[in-house]
Amino acid sequence: MENTSPQARIAELTNLIDRYNYEYYMNDRSLVSDYEFDELLSELIGLERAYPDLAMPNSPTRRVGGEVNKTFNQVAHRFPMLSLGNTYSIEEIEEFEARTRRLLDGVPFTYTCELKYDGVAIGLTYRHGQLVQAVTRGNGAVGDDITANAVTIKTVPLRLTGSYPDDFEVRGEVVYPFEPFNEMNRQREAEGDEPFANPRNAASGSLKLQDSAECARRKLMFCAYFVMGPDEAITQLPPTHSGRLEAARQMGFKVLPYTAECRNITEIKAYIDHWDRERWNLPFGIDGIVIKVNQVPLWDRLGLTAKSPRWAIAYKFKAERVSTPLVSVSYQVGRTGVVTPVANLQPVHLGGTTVRRATLNNADFIEKTDIRNGDWLLIEKGGEIIPKVVGVDPDHRLPDAMPVQYADTCPECGTALVKADGEAGRYCPNADHCPPQIVGRLEHFASRKAMNLESLGPERLELLYLSGLVANVADLYDLTPAKLIGLGVDSSASIQEKGAAAIMAALDASRQVPFERVLFALGIRFVGEVGAKKLARYFGNIDALLAATPLELAMVEDVGEVTAAAVSDYFAKPEHIAIVNRLRAAGLQMSVVSQQVSSALEGKTFVVSGVFDGFSRDEIKAHIEQHGGRVSGSLSSKTTYLVAGDKMGPEKRKKAEKLGIPIISEAEYLALCSQTE
Ligand code: IVH
């Protein structure tokens, strides 16, 4: 390797990594270990940094992400992105088939039937075999340029292989396979983020992420279903749709193998029946099947309706629905005391899984749906993975069935439930002694975005609570290795020497967690990450915050009256003040001022834009504040400097120039910080 020129090594690594990626994501084949792969990738990243001019176009290092999308440019589709006529009715499929045959008037033809992927449609433009742009469907005429995020999807080829048209487009669907989707949702829940309702929403949200590195972590998949281009550019493509998909596969696209060529309605119906049953065994969601005339030259003869082609139609599966007896209603108590009713059902098979429980949301839902004791409930599973109660089965209503009586006491601690004004739910007000609320608060406190106590997962926290060692977050800081070792010997959460050391280390590290996160970690109702940050920055320290009146609290940006009242109520309780004081005594950060390392940037306002080498965007913002500077989101006459990273948009630059604001690089910025230090 010493004899290889950087240029040759870059080319070699690029090709090698492309091949390994291809085998892994297209063919499920690992040719090297993860470790070796990472080594090669970091070598390439290093070489490209050292020799930026030698990087090959569309290098696989782009897949790691890092580009920041401030806004998504709107771009016009070269060819409108049509949608399909769709139906839930087999009769309409029969009509489609008969009409197509009639219009084609004896010309021999076939259909391709394929899966209707339940995701987000995008179009990928390739020139000279290189991906140049990825655009969402948008309104069909104009979509969003999401190239920076699309390149992070491993099944979007960046460079094509074999032979391909010089200038063309491949369309398909970005889907979020169930396994990584569930994994991501589990993680979101653990971190206190709202989970996505279904893989489609998650795929769509992922493509619109500002941080493409985050998109790279979401394991999305692109399934190609359509190849097109200007007529003169695609003459080399086969004349059938199935042939074109096969050609796309040869070029490096993921074309799933579930397509079938059908000659008549009987075969089409058999395909539909097969996938209506088998769809639950797929690793990703489909919401129907698509039937297309296979012979491309016939498409012009069939033409278009207002918004969809006459040569294709989608058959959509009905959401699968079953009816099953309601056995009982139980109640779950969350961290904030909100009580959620859950239907315990007679186990029933639905869409590939057995359903035993389903949420009943809140008291209003039970009332509006008119759920009565002894009822059979209708359960549906559509695009959503989580089964939903959609109503009561009228065929099983007993003549004198009594409405379900909502619990009036907490199932966990027996306290009378309270219905807050304007809220559909009821909650248990016994915040300080109701076990699931206590453990829930401990979990929140330990979560990544709060104190990040990694070694204290839910099971261990429950163990600490049940063993009587920890009843509130302050108790965590009284733990010692001696108290911890040997706990829960028979459980999977058991704590030995190593575990105890890890817990102590995590607690110790949490003493450096900034005040805003400590405030968030307290779990005050309605105070999320952003609210905590705003409150911390506004008041500067815990004493000022404790002394604030509701009116003063409500003056803070993003803190409304409801939150202000919740904060005020929280600190009005002596037991909460006691916890705060114990946390303070334990050494947790209780002010933001201690964060400031210098006043080098005092009086200066910065706008940051683009991607930086040594910082993430949040880090550089925090760094500015630590040196006494201010960060603003937009350029104005008050801006002192625009700190420009890589790939800053041209608009920003123009605006700064127009306002006469100096544009400085990351290095110049750092020099500025150290001037007076
Ligand atoms: S063909 C003109 N094939 O379904 C042909 N579409 O309205 C255009 N979809 O949002 C589409 N799987 O994204 C085609 N195998 C498939 C598909 C498919 C899913 C989506 C497509 C569009 C909708 C059709």
- Which residue would you say has higher pLDDT here, 653 or 113? 113
- Looking at ligand 1, which atom is closest to the CA of residue 309? 2
Residue pLDDT, tens place only, 641-657: 999 988 887 888 899 99
- Going along 67-217, which residue ranges are E strands? 74-76, 86-87, 111-117, 120-127, 130-136, 142-144, 167-175
pLDDT, mean over the chain: 91
Q: Give the distance (Å) from ligand 1 centre to CA of residue 173.
A: 8
What average pLDDT does range 108-125 have in this prediction? 97
The continuous run of DSSP H or E covering 178 comes out as: helix 178-190
What average pLDDT does range 449-459 have in this prediction? 92
Q: Which of 225, 241, 307, 313 to mutate to test the pocket of ligand 1 (most atoms within 8 A of CB)?
A: 225
Helix (H, G, I), strand (E, B) or coil at 171: strand
Q: Which of 124, 259, 290 to mutate to test the pocket of ligand 1 (most atoms within 8 A of CB)?
A: 290
User: Angle at the Cα of 518 (from 551 to 487), degrees rounded to 5?
Assistant: 135
Q: Which residues pair with 286 in a beta bridge?
A: 117
What average pLDDT does range 381-410 have in this prediction? 88
Please work out whether the CB of residue 114 comes within 6 Å of at least one atom of ligand 1: yes
Q: Which of 111, 112, 117 to mutate to test the pocket of ligand 1 (most atoms within 8 A of CB)?
A: 117
Please work out whether the CB of residue 293 comes within 6 Å of at least one atom of ligand 1: no
What sign does the CA torsion over 364, 369, 374, 380 have? negative
Ligand 1, atom 21, lies closest to the CA of 121
Residue pLDDT, tens place only, 220-264: 999 999 999 998 889 899 999 999 999 999 999 999 999 999 999
- Annotated catalytic, 116? yes
**Which entry of 70, 116, 449, 604 is annotated as an active-site residue?**
116
Highest average pLDDT, of 77-86, 219-228, 403-412, 528-537, comes from 219-228
Ligand 1, atom 9, lies closest to the CA of 116
Residue pLDDT, tens place only, 141-175: 999 999 999 999 999 999 999 999 999 999 999 99
The continuous run of DSSP H or E covering 345 comes out as: strand 338-350
- Looking at ligand 1, which atom is closest to the CA of residue 118? 19
Ligand 1, atom 10, lies closest to the CA of 121
Number of other residues whose CB lies within 10 A of the CB of residue 163: 11
- Looking at ligand 1, which atom is closest to the CA of residue 116? 12
Ligand 1, atom 17, lies closest to the CA of 116
pLDDT at 319: 82
Q: Which of 258, 251, 301, 304 is nearest to 281 (CA)?
A: 258
Ligand 1, atom 18, lies closest to the CA of 116
For residue 170, the one-letter residue type is V
What average pLDDT does range 511-529 have in this prediction? 93
pLDDT at 593: 59
Burial call 358-382: b when 16+ CB within 10 Å, e when fewer: bebbbbeebeebebbeebbbbbbbb
pLDDT at 379 over 60: yes
Please work out whether the CB of residue 173 comes within 6 Å of at least one atom of ligand 1: yes
Q: Give the distance (Å) from ligand 1 centre to CA of residue 83.
A: 6
Domains in the chain: ranges and CATH = 6-64 (1.10.287.610), 86-316 (3.30.470.30), 320-396 (2.40.50.140), 435-512 (1.10.150.20), 515-585 (1.10.150.20), 605-673 (3.40.50.10190)
Q: Give the distance (Å) from ligand 1 centre to CA of residue 430.
A: 52
pTM check: above 0.85: no
Residue pLDDT, tens place only, 21-40: 998 888 888 888 888 898 89
pLDDT at 114 over 50: yes
What average pLDDT does range 447-473 have in this prediction? 93
Q: Give the distance (Å) from ligand 1 centre to CA of residue 459.
A: 44
Please work out whether the CB of residue 624 comes within 6 Å of at least one atom of ligand 1: no
| Cβ(85)–Cβ(314) below 8 Å | yes
Please work out whether the CB of residue 56 comes within 6 Å of at least one atom of ligand 1: no
